Amino acid sequence: MPIIGLGVWRMEGKSIRDLLINAIKIGYRHIDCAADYQNEAEVGEALTEAFQTGLVKREDLFITTKASGIANLKNSSYFLLWNSDHGHVLEACKDSLKKLRLDHLDLYLVHFPVATRHTGVGTTDSALDEDGVLDIDTTISLETTWHAMEDLVSTGLVRSIGISNYDIFLTRDCLAYSKVKPAVNQIETHPYFQRDSLVKFCQKHGICITAHTPLGGAAANTEWFGSVSCLDDPILKGLADKYNKTVAQIVLRWGIQRNTVVIPKSSKVERLEENFQVFDFELTKEDMDLIKGVDQKYRTNQPAKFWGIDLYA
C-alpha cells in the first residue's frame, strides 16, 4: 500500500481528469475516492484513460473509494461503505465498481461506525429524521455489517476489508467478532490530533492506519467547522525553515515517520508535486518529539454539524 496518496474530495468535472492524470505522472499510485464525493464516475473515466493510453497499468495503482462507501490498498482499489448501505453491502460495492469501471477492489471500508435509514444504493445524502437528526437504523449492528463485508472477500469482489473512523473500543470489538480482520482503519490524525493510543493499538494488532485530513483540514474545514489549521503552528513553521521545506511537507513527513499512510488533497498541480516531495529528508527523533508537544487533541472534521448528533460523544 503506497505510503502517500491523493484524496479527491470536492473535485468536480474536468478538473478530476486533469488532476488524476497529472498526479499519476508525478508518481502517485494511491488514489482515495468515495461515493460520498459524488465523483466516482469521473474518476473511473480518468482511470480508464490512464490505462488505455499506457500511462499506467491497473496493477500499478492503489485506488481507494468510499462509495456509499469504499477505500483501496496497493495495486488496486479500496472502498468505503456509506452509512445508509449497511444493510445493502453487496449492492453498494457493485455500484461503486461499475462507476469506477473496475472488476475488483483491493480494500473495502466501512465509512462510519453507524447504520442509517437506507436511502437507495448510489445515494449519499445523510438520512435525517423530521427533527434534522441522523436517522439511525437500530436493526443493523456493526457486526452484521462486518460479516456482509467478509462475504465480499469470499466472492472475490474485494481483496481486503477495513474500517474508518473507529475508536479503540469499536476496533477492539471488530477484532473480536471478525473472521477476516480489518486491514485498515482510516481516521483523522495530524499534529493537532495525534491520537497516539489509537494509532499504536491498531498497529499493534496489524491494522494499518490511513490518515485522512493529514494536514489538519483546509478551506472546507475552516468554512464548515471553524477549524484551526496546524499549518499555522509556529513550531511547525520553525521546522519548515530548518529543513527548507513547507509546513505541509513537514506534517506529511511526520505522518510517514509514524508509519501511517497519508492521503492529502489538493486541486493544484504544483501542490500535488510539493506534497509528493517528502522522501528526500527525515525528521530527527528530537524534532519528532517536538511535534508530539503541539498536540491539542483537536478534531477538525465534525459530522455533527450535518447530522445533528455527535458520533464521537
User: Taking a C-beta distance cutoff of 8 angstroms, is the pair 105, 97 a contact?
Assistant: yes
Domain ranges of the chain: 6-225+258-269+298-307
Cell of 313: 460523544
Query: In this structure, what C-alpha cell is assigned to residue 133?
Result: 437528526
Q: Which residues contact 255 (CB under 8 A, 6 or more apart)?
A: 189, 190, 211, 214, 262
> Does position 55 have pLDDT exceeding 50, yes or no?
yes
- Over pLDDT 90: what percentage of the chain? 52
37 is catalytic: yes
Cβ contact 4:259 at 8 Å: no
The b/e string for 111-133 (b: 16+ C-beta within 10 A; e otherwise) is: bbbbbbebbebbebebbbeeeee
Sign of CA dihedral 151, 40, 28, 162: negative
Q: What is the average pLDDT score of the chain?
A: 85
225, pLDDT greater than 80: no
Among 62-66, 130-134, 141-145, 267-271, which is the least confidently predicted range?
A: 62-66
57 — alpha (psi -120 to 50), left (phi > 0) or beta? beta
CA 280, 198, 223, 39 torsion-angle sign? positive
The sign of the dihedral angle between the CA atoms of 194, 198, 203, 206 is negative
Torsion of CA 229, 234, 240, 241, to 10 degrees: 150
Please give the Cα distance from 271 to 86 (Å, whole number): 36
Q: What is the pLDDT of residue 117?
A: 77
Q: Rounded to 5 degrees, what are φ and ψ at 306?
A: -100, -25
231/218 Cα distance (integer angstroms): 9
- Cβ-based neighbour number of residue 80 at 10 Å: 33
Q: Which residues are annotated as a binding site for substrate?
A: 111
Per-residue three-class SS string for 134-197: ECECCCCCHHHHHHHHHHHHHHCCEEEEEEECCCHHHHHHHHHHCCCCCCEEEEECECCECCHH
State the Cα–Cα distance between residues 182 and 206, nearest whole angstrom: 9
What is the per-residue pLDDT across 12-35, written as a single tens digit (0 to 9) for each?
667 888 899 999 999 999 988 766
Q: Cβ(180)–Cβ(154) under 8 Å?
A: no
Q: How confident is the model at residue 120 (pLDDT cuts 50, 70, 90)?
A: low
Q: Which of 28, 37, 108, 166 is catalytic?
A: 37
Task: Decide if domain 6-225+258-269+298-307 falls under CATH 3.20.20.100.
Answer: yes
> Per mean pLDDT, which of 63-67, 83-87, 88-92 is the most reliable?
88-92
| C-alpha 77: how far from chain center | 12
Give the pLDDT confidence score for residue 139 in this predicted structure: 87
Model pLDDT, residue 67? 38
